[in-house]
Amino acid sequence: MDADTKATISTAYRHVSHGLPNITRDQLRELLYVLGCKPLMEETYFNEILAGVDPQGTEKITLERLLAKLSDMMTVKCDVKALREALAVFDDTGSGKVDKAEVTRALAAYSNLPKGQIESLVGMKQGGASVDIEELLKKLTPK
Protein backbone atom coordinates (compact mmCIF):
# COMPACT_ATOMS: atom_id res chain seq x y z
CA MET A 1 0.00 0.00 0.00
CA ASP A 2 1.45 3.37 -0.96
CA ALA A 3 1.90 6.23 1.51
CA ASP A 4 -0.94 8.34 0.05
CA THR A 5 -3.45 5.50 0.35
CA LYS A 6 -2.33 4.78 3.89
CA ALA A 7 -2.68 8.46 4.82
CA THR A 8 -6.17 8.66 3.29
CA ILE A 9 -7.32 5.57 5.19
CA SER A 10 -5.76 6.85 8.42
CA THR A 11 -7.49 10.24 8.08
CA ALA A 12 -10.86 8.62 7.39
CA TYR A 13 -10.32 6.25 10.33
CA ARG A 14 -9.64 9.16 12.70
CA HIS A 15 -12.78 10.87 11.40
CA VAL A 16 -15.14 7.93 12.01
CA SER A 17 -13.49 6.96 15.32
CA HIS A 18 -13.75 10.52 16.67
CA GLY A 19 -10.13 10.18 17.80
CA LEU A 20 -10.70 6.96 19.77
CA PRO A 21 -8.28 4.02 19.31
CA ASN A 22 -10.91 1.54 18.04
CA ILE A 23 -13.92 1.51 15.74
CA THR A 24 -17.04 -0.68 15.70
CA ARG A 25 -18.55 -2.77 12.92
CA ASP A 26 -20.91 0.07 11.99
CA GLN A 27 -18.05 2.55 11.94
CA LEU A 28 -16.06 0.17 9.72
CA ARG A 29 -18.98 0.09 7.29
CA GLU A 30 -19.12 3.91 7.38
CA LEU A 31 -15.34 4.13 6.85
CA LEU A 32 -15.44 1.86 3.80
CA TYR A 33 -18.34 3.87 2.39
CA VAL A 34 -16.48 7.17 2.95
CA LEU A 35 -13.45 5.69 1.15
CA GLY A 36 -15.67 4.90 -1.84
CA CYS A 37 -15.59 1.14 -1.42
CA LYS A 38 -19.19 0.58 -2.44
CA PRO A 39 -18.55 -2.93 -3.83
CA LEU A 40 -17.20 -3.79 -0.38
CA MET A 41 -20.60 -3.04 1.07
CA GLU A 42 -21.97 -6.35 -0.19
CA GLU A 43 -22.63 -8.29 3.00
CA THR A 44 -20.52 -11.34 2.16
CA TYR A 45 -17.51 -9.24 1.24
CA PHE A 46 -17.97 -6.91 4.22
CA ASN A 47 -18.09 -9.93 6.57
CA GLU A 48 -14.82 -11.24 5.10
CA ILE A 49 -13.15 -7.91 5.84
CA LEU A 50 -14.70 -7.79 9.30
CA ALA A 51 -13.47 -11.30 10.12
CA GLY A 52 -9.95 -10.22 9.17
CA VAL A 53 -9.92 -7.12 11.35
CA ASP A 54 -12.06 -8.34 14.27
CA PRO A 55 -11.74 -12.14 14.45
CA GLN A 56 -13.09 -12.36 18.03
CA GLY A 57 -16.08 -10.09 17.33
CA THR A 58 -15.07 -7.61 20.04
CA GLU A 59 -15.95 -4.56 17.90
CA LYS A 60 -12.51 -3.14 18.75
CA ILE A 61 -11.09 -2.64 15.28
CA THR A 62 -7.72 -0.91 15.33
CA LEU A 63 -6.23 1.18 12.57
CA GLU A 64 -3.20 -1.13 12.42
CA ARG A 65 -5.34 -4.24 11.81
CA LEU A 66 -7.43 -2.41 9.25
CA LEU A 67 -4.38 -1.16 7.33
CA ALA A 68 -2.86 -4.66 7.37
CA LYS A 69 -6.08 -6.28 6.07
CA LEU A 70 -6.68 -3.68 3.36
CA SER A 71 -3.04 -3.82 2.29
CA ASP A 72 -3.26 -7.59 2.00
CA MET A 73 -6.48 -7.31 0.01
CA MET A 74 -4.95 -4.73 -2.33
CA THR A 75 -2.06 -7.08 -3.10
CA VAL A 76 -3.48 -9.68 -5.44
CA LYS A 77 -1.50 -12.86 -5.25
CA CYS A 78 -2.34 -14.81 -8.34
CA ASP A 79 -0.51 -17.40 -10.41
CA VAL A 80 -1.44 -15.83 -13.76
CA LYS A 81 0.11 -18.61 -15.87
CA ALA A 82 -1.72 -21.36 -13.95
CA LEU A 83 -4.96 -19.38 -14.01
CA ARG A 84 -4.68 -18.81 -17.80
CA GLU A 85 -4.14 -22.55 -18.31
CA ALA A 86 -7.05 -23.42 -15.99
CA LEU A 87 -9.40 -21.03 -17.78
CA ALA A 88 -8.30 -22.26 -21.24
CA VAL A 89 -9.63 -25.71 -20.30
CA PHE A 90 -13.14 -24.21 -20.11
CA ASP A 91 -12.83 -22.32 -23.41
CA ASP A 92 -14.38 -25.04 -25.56
CA THR A 93 -14.78 -22.84 -28.64
CA GLY A 94 -11.39 -21.10 -28.58
CA SER A 95 -13.14 -17.73 -28.34
CA GLY A 96 -11.10 -16.53 -25.37
CA LYS A 97 -14.26 -16.35 -23.25
CA VAL A 98 -15.38 -18.63 -20.44
CA ASP A 99 -18.43 -19.07 -18.25
CA LYS A 100 -18.50 -16.75 -15.20
CA ALA A 101 -19.13 -19.66 -12.82
CA GLU A 102 -16.04 -21.47 -14.12
CA VAL A 103 -13.96 -18.29 -13.77
CA THR A 104 -15.14 -17.90 -10.19
CA ARG A 105 -14.06 -21.46 -9.35
CA ALA A 106 -10.66 -21.02 -11.04
CA LEU A 107 -9.97 -17.71 -9.26
CA ALA A 108 -10.85 -19.27 -5.92
CA ALA A 109 -8.31 -22.02 -6.61
CA TYR A 110 -5.46 -19.89 -8.03
CA SER A 111 -5.63 -16.58 -6.13
CA ASN A 112 -5.89 -15.16 -2.62
CA LEU A 113 -8.99 -13.13 -3.45
CA PRO A 114 -12.02 -13.43 -1.14
CA LYS A 115 -15.24 -14.76 -2.66
CA GLY A 116 -16.97 -11.36 -2.67
CA GLN A 117 -14.08 -9.71 -4.48
CA ILE A 118 -13.97 -12.54 -7.04
CA GLU A 119 -17.69 -12.13 -7.74
CA SER A 120 -17.25 -8.38 -8.11
CA LEU A 121 -14.22 -8.79 -10.39
CA VAL A 122 -15.97 -11.34 -12.59
CA GLY A 123 -19.15 -9.26 -12.69
CA MET A 124 -21.47 -11.92 -11.34
CA LYS A 125 -24.23 -9.37 -10.71
CA GLN A 126 -23.93 -7.81 -14.18
CA GLY A 127 -25.35 -9.17 -17.38
CA GLY A 128 -23.73 -11.72 -19.62
CA ALA A 129 -22.73 -15.27 -18.92
CA SER A 130 -19.09 -15.15 -19.97
CA VAL A 131 -15.84 -13.34 -19.25
CA ASP A 132 -12.98 -12.49 -21.61
CA ILE A 133 -9.92 -14.37 -20.28
CA GLU A 134 -7.28 -11.80 -21.28
CA GLU A 135 -9.31 -8.83 -19.95
CA LEU A 136 -9.69 -10.62 -16.63
CA LEU A 137 -5.97 -11.41 -16.46
CA LYS A 138 -5.14 -7.74 -17.15
CA LYS A 139 -7.18 -6.80 -14.06
CA LEU A 140 -5.20 -9.26 -11.98
CA THR A 141 -1.73 -8.32 -13.24
CA PRO A 142 0.06 -5.58 -11.27
CA LYS A 143 0.72 -2.45 -13.32
Q: If you average pLDDT over every residue of the chain, what do you get?
A: 82
β-sheet bridge partners, residue 97: 132
Tens-place pLDDT, residues 96-119: 888 888 888 888 887 777 777 787
Intervals of the chain under pLDDT 70: 38-41, 74-78, 124-125, 127, 141-143
CB-CB contact of 45 with 39 (8 Å): yes
Q: Catalogue all structural domains in the chain, each as residue range(s) with its CATH number.
A: 3-74 (1.10.238), 80-140 (1.10.238.10)
- The predicted pLDDT at position 124 comes to 66
DSSP string, the chain: --HHHHHHHHHHHHHHHTT-SEE-HHHHHHHHHHTT-GGGGSHHHHHHHHHHH-TT--S-EEHHHHHHHHHHHHS--B-HHHHHHHHHHT-TTSSSEEEHHHHHHHHHHHB---HHHHHHHHTTTSS-SEEEHHHHHHHHS--
Query: Does the model's pTM come out above 0.75?
Result: no
